[in-house]
Chains A and B, each alone.
Chain A
Amino acid sequence: MTPFRHTSWVALTLCATLWLAGCATTQPLEPRELRYSAPMEQTFREAVALMMEQGYVIRHADLTLGRAEASLARWPEYRIQLQVSDAQGGSLVSVSALRGSQPIPPYVLDPWLVELQRKLGELP
């Protein structure tokens, strides 16, 4: 085997490893948070209604826990996890989403949080 062929085989193997590694890495599920001045109960109800308006099917929701999970049947299936908790003089919404088994980067969730703000009539 000539040195050049040897080098190209090494490069090819390295590339293949990197390629597969790029697919396999799992980032931690990172939530996006936003504070609202509406009380926790109202915020939670609006958030659940908003998800349903967008076609998400609610898999689980509990008002007392302030927790909901919804999924959208678009390949490779999107899932949202919602947590609403009491904060001083308002509520704190923490939302995270998965695309298939990969977490969606948090900045993608910003338009959704703003839409919730609009529904609550809190847009600046």
Chain B
Amino acid sequence: MKAIPLSITCLLALAGCQTVPDRLPQAEPAPAAACYFPTDPPTDQSAPDETLSVLTASIDVLEAWGFSLETTDTELGLVSASRERELIGYYDRYDYDYGYGSGFRLFGGFGIGRGVGIGVGGSFGPGFGQQPVEVERVSLLARDGHLRISRDIRRFDHLGDLRESYSASNDDFCGRFQDAFSSSVTPQGAS
């Protein structure tokens, strides 16, 4: 009987839709050690003042790097920012379906009834001619004399579809941030 293999296929297909992780996923690899560092000035001042000066210095660094602020909570010690840049000549190396810059999608239907009907339609996506972009998001948390950074990068193609996304709390970015942060803090402390 053909019904049994068919129903097994259906069950498998449904199971595929329902897969969930057994626990909340984390970034892999975990954020680099450089993304958690002590903020230098000795903690003579009262805690809120110190958090505020750390946040001000971090915001200066982020803005100098072209980030725009999205949300802040000074009481909590949080800054969240993002920046966007256009990618020239970007294509997804894993999925090169349409070709870069074509902006053309094909969809169609195929119907079988008493006769056979074939329908094909084409559409120019709303983002025709739009550049692919890379969006970088960063959040900083100043707490107990330490600063913690988390960061991710997402790439969108010319149709505005998400093509790549990964967590990027790496040594490179955090190390550069740490350098820029300490050099923006030290002159104020020295004078």
Question: Which chain A residues have a beta carbon within 8 Å of chain B's beta carbons?
Answer: 8, 11-12, 15, 18-19, 22-23, 44-45, 48-49, 52-64, 70-75, 77-78, 80, 97, 99, 104-105, 108-112
Contacts and interface: CB of A to CB of B under 8 A. Distances in A.
Nearest to A55: B27
Task: For the complex of A and B, list the 5 residue pairs with the smallest distance between their C-beta atoms, beginning with the closest.
Answer: A55-B27, A73-B152, A73-B165, A22-B14, A58-B139
13 contacts: A15-B7, A45-B143, A53-B148, A55-B28, A57-B138, A57-B152, A58-B150, A60-B71, A62-B76, A64-B75, A72-B26, A73-B166, A99-B20
A63 B152 contact: no
A58 B141 CA distance: 9
B165 A48 contact: no
A48 B7 CA distance: 46
A108 B20 CA distance: 8
B3 A48 contact: no
A112 B153 contact: no
A72 B75 contact: no
A73 B113 CA distance: 44
Contact of B31 (A8, A19, A55): A55
Contact of B139 (A11, A57, A77): A57
Interface in B5-33: 6-7, 9-10, 13-14, 17-18, 20-28, 30-31
Contacts of B58: none
A52 B76 contact: no
Contacts of B152: 55, 57, 71-73
Contacts of B139: 52, 57-59, 70
A61 B22 contact: no
Nearest to B163: A75
Interface in B42-69: none
A112 B22 CA distance: 11
B87 interface: no
A19, A23, A78: most-surrounded residue (chain B CB, <10 A)? A19
A22 B139 CA distance: 36
B167 A73 contact: yes
Nearest to A109: B24
A80 B99 CA distance: 35
B143 A104 contact: no
A15 B24 contact: no
Contacts of B167: 55, 57, 72-74
B178 interface: no
B137 interface: yes
Contacts of B153: 73
Given A64-B75, A74-B165, A75-B165, A49 B141 contact: yes
